[in-house]
Structure 1
Amino acid sequence: MALEKLGENLYLYPGSPSTLIKIGDRTVIADPGHGSKRHKELRRELRKLGVEIGYMLATHGHADHLAIAPKLKKPLFIHRYEFSIAESPLNRELLTFGSKAPKGFLVYQFPQEVKVYGVFEWGDELFGLRTIELPGHSPGMTGFFDEENAVLYAGDSFFGERVIQSVGLPYLVEPDLFKESIKRLMEYAEEGLLLIPSHGKAVKGENATNLLELNLKRVEEGEEKILELLREARSVSELSYALAKEFEAKITPQILALNQVPIRAMIASLYNRDLIEPVVEKDLKWKTKS
């Protein structure tokens, strides 16, 4: 894989997630990623440009976005809400899976601690990039905005079409915040910015708007289908399987388990709106209110 030039001193190294590279007085990379060879690949591509990594940024603390950070041995900055998630392998699993995950069950489990050098707030300027508030996927989900090149690296605040088709539901921990972030991104799309999801192709203009609408629609459809399915009392695991079938997603133990996280978040939202209620039928189940 080769670097993609996005603008003046701005590059993208492809992958899932992709890595943003901003060259300046000290070169910074956002979301170094994962993989046994990725740290070597990043260094190799940067050597071609005659620069070395100075600092690292992370959009959030999920393992697939920063697994190679310890190998790069450069200062890492992350939003303060993500600090403990990034530094603790157990906290990463708790946020991603909902509890300690079975060994080898999650693709991106890794035991190393990730040392965070500093935390930032939304709206801060770091190494020529402005931090943008985009929570919902995780508590401190952050985008990095390069005003000079009109580029916004948006992390997992939205997903590419192939990802959504594969998993069925966008992964999120708070549906209302996720939807608010999508609407915020739509404003940036209307301004003509190039929007880059960590998992998917960069999009601009009508393509960006259409992809954002797909993400928003899928969350709203998920909530609507849960209400329909809960005309009959169902557990979270039963909902996960039924929704995967509805959206024609891949049905694997990992996807069904991970989809239970956004489903539980949607159930909390629906319950708080007094639309569903818990029932006990040999298991904790949920049902729409009559």
Structure 2
Amino acid sequence: MQSLRRIGGRAYLLPGSPNTVIVAGSSGAVVVDPGIGEGRGTAIQEALRGLGLGLEAVVLTHGHSDHLAAAPGLGGPVYAARLCRGLVESSVLRRLVVYGGLVTERLAAMPMVELRVDREVEPGEGLPEGLRSIPLPGHTPGHMGVVDEESRVVAAGDAVLGERVLARFGVPFAADLEGWVRSLERLRELAEEGYTIVPGHGPVARGRRAAAMVEANIAAVEKLRGWVLERLREKPLTLEKLTYMATVSLGSAEPTPRQLMLNRTALASLLAWLEREGLVEPETGEEGVVWRARGQQPR
């Protein structure tokens, strides 16, 4: 079992995938992203006992199952962004947003946990124990980071990923890749200001190391953009074909049905971004919707 360690001031890390941040306050502890896995809830309770604190609140950066599955056994009020409330409270809506359509529990390969949100958080709103939320949308609508000014720590959730995660999957998962890049630019500013950045998946980083991690995420999106445009300049492709090619070419993860469906969601958002910029356009064909680079002759 991973052990609790201090990462700055009153902020502690319970490592995992995802990472959990615990902030020791004067009235109790705030747990950010409890996480998933057998024994995770027990590990959090043991960490709180070690700190000599009760649970004041659970704060979720977003509503994906791997970030909230351990929460039901903890008790305490649950805080989530207004736009993420539906994802937290409904496993059906969560699957619709993540996979672009309803999939079975077996294919989703995540527990169908549903959790009541006790307090909706607006962008920039204060949180218990003097913490504050910052909007970091993109990975999901309403995704937020949690900032502890006293400790100079940002629990960034999946607004940024460790480099090994990026290399493995090749296609960064985000419901809105354009919005994700804007959030990464905000995190880069915080890294340059000296904040410790805690990604949802990957090592904690500070200073130049944190800035380099954020830059690697931005570079991954730029690489994907360039790759997609190059493929579509060669010939029109369906989203399904483009997804398979990107999964095989850009990452080392096996192109399982689940991985392909996740990557399809991200690539659909990228195509929408490129279409808004006038770089690609859809057309109808026997294969369904086919995407081509603007200026390319229709088939």
Instruction: Give the TM bin, normalised by the shorter chain.
Output: over 0.9
Task: Give the equivalent residue in structure 2 for 1:270.
Answer: 274
SS of the residue aligned with 1:187?
helix
Task: Give the equivalent residue in structure 2 for 1:216.
Answer: 218
Does structure 1 residue 234 correspond to structure 2 residue 208? no
My pick for the range that moved more, 59-68 or 273-282, is 273-282
Task: Give the equivalent residue in structure 2 for 1:154.
Answer: 156
Task: Give the equivalent residue in structure 1 for 2:20.
Answer: 19
Task: Select the residue among 268, 278, 292 that pairs with 1:287.
Answer: 292
Percent identity over paired residues: 35
1:19-38 CA-to-partner distances (Å, cap 9, x unmatched) read: 11011112110001111211
Task: Select the residue among 256, 259, 262 that pairs with 2:260.
Answer: 256
CA separation in 1, counterparts of 2:56 and 2:151?
Answer: 21
Q: CA deviation at 1:44?
A: 1.4
Is contact 1:70–1:115 with CA below 8 Å preserved after alignment? Answer: no
Q: CA deviation at 1:192?
A: 0.9
Q: Please, which runs of 5 or more residues in structure 2 have no aligned partner?
A: none
Q: CA deviation at 1:157?
A: 0.6
SS of the residue aligned with 1:180?
helix
My pick for the range that moved more, 173-182 or 155-164, is 173-182
> Aligned pair in 2 of structure 1 residues 282, 122: CA closer, same or farther (>3 Å)?
closer
Task: Give the equivalent residue in structure 2 for 1:197.
Answer: 199
Q: CA deviation at 1:95?
A: 1.2
RMSD of the alignment, in Å? 1.3
My pick for the range that moved more, 243-252 or 82-91, is 243-252
What amino acid does structure 2 have at the position aligned with 1:12?
A: L
Q: CA deviation at 1:117?
A: 0.6
Task: Give the equivalent residue in structure 1 for 2:188.
Answer: 186
Q: Tell me the number of residue pairs that the alignment of Structure 1 and Structure 2 aligns.
A: 289
CA separation in 2, counterparts of 1:28 and 1:248?
Answer: 36
CA separation in 1, counterparts of 2:262 and 2:123?
Answer: 27
CA separation in 2, counterparts of 1:144 and 1:12?
Answer: 14
Q: CA deviation at 1:281?
A: 3.2
Is contact 2:87–2:93 with CA below 8 Å preserved after alignment? Answer: yes
Task: Give the equivalent residue in structure 1 for 2:65.
Answer: 63
SS of the residue aligned with 1:157?
strand
Task: Give the equivalent residue in structure 2 for 1:8.
Answer: 9
Task: Give the equivalent residue in structure 2 for 1:103.
Answer: 105
What amino acid does structure 1 have at the position aligned with 2:254?
A: I
CA separation in 1, counterparts of 2:132 and 2:143?
Answer: 13
What amino acid does structure 1 have at the position aligned with 2:164?
A: R
SS of the residue aligned with 2:237?
coil
SS of the residue aligned with 1:72?
coil
Q: CA deviation at 1:176?
A: 2.0
1:125-175 CA-to-partner distances (Å, cap 9, x unmatched) read: 212211111111111111111111111111111100111111112111222
CA separation in 2, counterparts of 1:10 and 1:234?
Answer: 48
SS of the residue aligned with 1:108?
coil
Q: CA deviation at 1:243?
A: 1.2
What amino acid does structure 2 have at the position aligned with 1:265?
A: S
My pick for the range that moved more, 171-180 or 246-255, is 246-255
What amino acid does structure 1 have at the position aligned with 2:253?
A: K
What amino acid does structure 2 have at the position aligned with 1:143?
A: G
Q: CA deviation at 1:103?
A: 2.9
Is contact 2:247–2:255 with CA below 8 Å preserved after alignment? Answer: no
> Aligned pair in 2 of structure 1 residues 70, 178: CA closer, same or farther (>3 Å)?
same
